[in-house]
A and B are shown apart, each in its own frame.
Chain A
Amino acid sequence: MNFLQNFAIGQYVPRDSFVHRLDPRSKLLFLLFFTLLVFWANNWFSYGLLLCFLFMVTAASRIPGVYLLRGLKPVWFMLVITVILHLLITKGGAVYVQWGWFSIEQAGVQQAIYMAFRLGALVTMGALLTLTTTPMDLTDGLERLLAPLKRFNVPVHELALMLSIAMRFIPTLLEETDKIIKAQKARGVDFETGPLIQRAKHMIPIVIPLFVGAFRRAEELALAMEARGYRGGEGRTRLRQLHLSWRDTLLAGIAILLGVLMGWWRE
């Protein structure tokens, strides 16, 4: 197993593009706005506009289409089910196919296409966000966007720190898992053959040492953090500073334009 060789946290694809250089905060806010637009759209014009825009963003991000298709993989099943359900259930307009009680009608086809587009557009846009933003930038962006919630006692800083420590320790724990698997194999545990339940049982000697190790690490890390003067988010400064640039202003302009066009073209 040499998954550590090419291991990267998240699915960030490094490129130097307009989208990559946007501030993570504006990307997150824009994703939210885009979601609203996708649900606001209700005719061919408005959907067409969003589709064109999606292509433009993809082009601007310089992310190969393959990555976006890979992003759709986990939801394709849901996509197919949605399409089939709408084809069968939604009635109205011209009848295309009639076979006993079973029929496919115009409204059904239209609704199926709309729904598939909505789902696909949202997932693609989400994938574009994670493909063009490093996990650390995303965490930072989220922390700052959610900062006002601190007033309501939401532990925003702690959550962000947890996330970044988790990301820091993923490779370490993977390495440890690898070591444990090898150690157990050397003691004769067979992970590859046998019935499913048997194999599941063989996971126990991997999971338990991993957990024990993780707790030990957590304790030592807490001590090390304390030794370096950690005392919560209060009065803390950050090395990474997020900067809004002309790109983010441009994005805001695009968002407004998109909103106006949508309001105009939708029915």
Chain B
Amino acid sequence: MIFSDYLFLFAGMGLVTYLPRALPLLYLAHKQLPQWLVDWLSLIPVAILSALLAPSLFADSTTRNFDIGKPELLVAIPTLIFALKTRSLGGTVLVGMLLYWLTGLYN
């Protein structure tokens, strides 16, 4: 691909990424939101993070089958405990990476 192909591709990707990020904010930030919507939206972060995370721990990404024995899940348990105890984002990332690296070395 040449420069203009890349520019077209990435400008298109950028546009379809930017609009979902911007439009709700631009619209809703100048509205008085009803209480039920505020309550519902407060549950969105935990729901999204859990939905992003769970399939990567409990399912094989190539075959899309249920899998309870993944090293990702094994490492997630001490990593979760570390996160609960310390509430340190940087520390959790490092501990997770280290443990995952170690499980790779012993497999």
Asked if chains A and B come from one complex, the reply is no
